[in-house]
Structure 1
């Protein structure tokens, strides 16, 4: 846009405004180019400033268009700055193609895992009873449907940026916790005597060095020894997760970092382990404990074909509910006392499957526990717990 006064008609009032001094001296204002160029009107100055600002804005928008990293970002910039459509190119939002399926999966899940992470939400904590690998195939089993419900709650309401999970099937040292730092993780088929196709099952997943480091830092801040290792996911994670997060109908799409238990049966030690990681919940990281509410494989042959629960299954399952849902100030002691009950060793000949709920309760902080569902069957209980409420990130 030109600001030259030669484009202004001689009788334009802007000339008189720009040369007021001629009126005060009684002389006629000149309309020549040389005369007008010797002074500048406010309007001319304003037009010049607008021209400069327009140039700066265009340069800024061109720069924005070359730094867009995703299609979603591109649409957002275009919506608020429509001129970017003139300068942006499709090439600017295309990511390099990965060299393998694993790396494609890693890239896509990692990117999806960061969506919505700007919201400062405190995630709830879950304990799931994962069952055996056969739960993936027994779709008429009530536990299958309940795991699906829980999975949909997590993907549609909680929407975490990552999941940190403790499985009954991984114990480390007596005073040391191990954290899986692998980003591409295989599956561990840690079960025996099942049909051959069980050992060909797949569950797409990726890990995260960033989240693993956050876990180790939090543990060390709490005075707990922690070390990174590379390991696959055992079936205490992937079998239950495949029911909850079906890869085709309800994919999780965020990194999964598995963390070990201690190599002890100390409930207080595991409760404090959960407490050490509670602050991760403020970063939209979801903590899940995976075990069984009652787990006695030795007595399964007594109940084969008979779904009626054994007496200790009923009594311990209810005692677990009372402890996990106790007032916050009494919960830690109640969870410790739970494993001192006379029926505790009947319900759990080994405490590895119950200790993940102690970790979950410790990570819950001031949030109350709630039993979402239970099924007492033979020498097993499938109780599922949640601590806190699943505030909906997407609704903010």
Structure 2
């Protein structure tokens, strides 16, 4: 059948709409809970957590929740992992073109040490991140760094194709405060307009000294109370202003049971960075896109800023 002028016109309109989407879409920010070690990637995990469990399926569905079409997919991802603490002054940014794997866990089945997430790095973009931080008065260093499990576990689930370049970045709890990390997020926010998805990965509650409980075990009250505070601080479950949310997140150690929910700050610091990057004065609230629990105390809450406001928010945590 011959192609008519009408068909050509429709094709041009379709191409134009796709280009307009690329030109106008501002990439969102994700703050995710990456789960317990590599369990979400294993055929047989522990404590009800494996690749088949609901919390793993929820993580695998994240991109479907934040993107309405493939035209919105990012050119690259900047990934801030709780499992990378800078050893020097400032932050560290990976300039690796083809990052290797870092199995930063022990005592798991052999299959967990054979995982390979094949995404490329982006040295040129790493230099752009450093430039942006320098312009904001933030010290950073370019280094070679493999992918740690704070990155590759959620990325295996969210984007198993591994077809989007990923540049990873550290935190620095040893030398920087929560306020500093919030300001770091703000400094990174302009990258959203450069077709960059910002993902920060830690854990909404993270007490690895607490016992691992089976799936039918009641959630610990301290974990529930901290999670309620976090929802009220970040999500549209509350009507708090930008300043109220900022004041709350940078003073998170004053939250109910904070010292139990996070015996060390690293896994919460990434949520602070995410809030800094995602919150806007006129739209400070995130959408809570996933909930759920594991081990009797580990929250799997995930938050997103800058996504379709019509997306229904999680109002009940379900296992």
Alpha-carbon deviation of 1:329? Answer: 3.0
Evaluate the alpha carbon distance shift between residue 196 and residue 269 of structure 1 in structure 2; reply closer, same or farther with a 3 A threshold.
Answer: same
CA distance in 1, matches of 2:20, 2:165: 14
Residue 141 of structure 1 is matched in structure 2 by 53
- Kindly indicate which of the two structures has a greater share of residues assigned to helix: 1
Residue in structure 1 matching 2:187, options 256, 276, 301: 276
Residue in structure 1 matching 2:219, options 305, 309, 328: 309
CA contact (8 A) 1:267 1:339 kept: no
Structure 2: 5+ residue runs without aligned partners?
A: 1-7, 13-18, 43-49, 310-319
Residue 68 of structure 1 is matched in structure 2 by none
1:233-271 residue CA offsets vs partner (Å, 9 max, x unmatched): 10000011111112xxxx252210000001337211111
SS of equivalent to 2:98: coil
Residue 330 of structure 1 is matched in structure 2 by 244
Please identify the structure whose Cα radius of gyration is greater: 1
Higher relative contact order (CA 8 A, sep 6+): 2
Residue in structure 1 matching 2:290, options 361, 369, 373: 373
TM-score normalised by length of structure 1: 0.65
TM-score normalised by length of structure 2: 0.80
CA distance in 2, matches of 1:307, 1:244: 28
CA distance in 2, matches of 1:174, 1:314: 35
CA distance in 2, matches of 1:171, 1:117: 36
Alignment RMSD: 2.3
Residue 126 of structure 1 is matched in structure 2 by 30
Alpha-carbon deviation of 1:341? Answer: 2.4
CA contact (8 A) 2:229 2:255 kept: no
The number of residues matched between the two structures is 275
Alpha-carbon deviation of 1:140? Answer: 2.9
CA contact (8 A) 1:120 1:283 kept: no
SS of equivalent to 1:294: coil
Alpha-carbon deviation of 1:347? Answer: 0.4
Alpha-carbon deviation of 1:170? Answer: 0.3
The answer to whether structure 1 residue 300 and structure 2 residue 204 are counterparts is: no
CA contact (8 A) 1:364 1:387 kept: yes
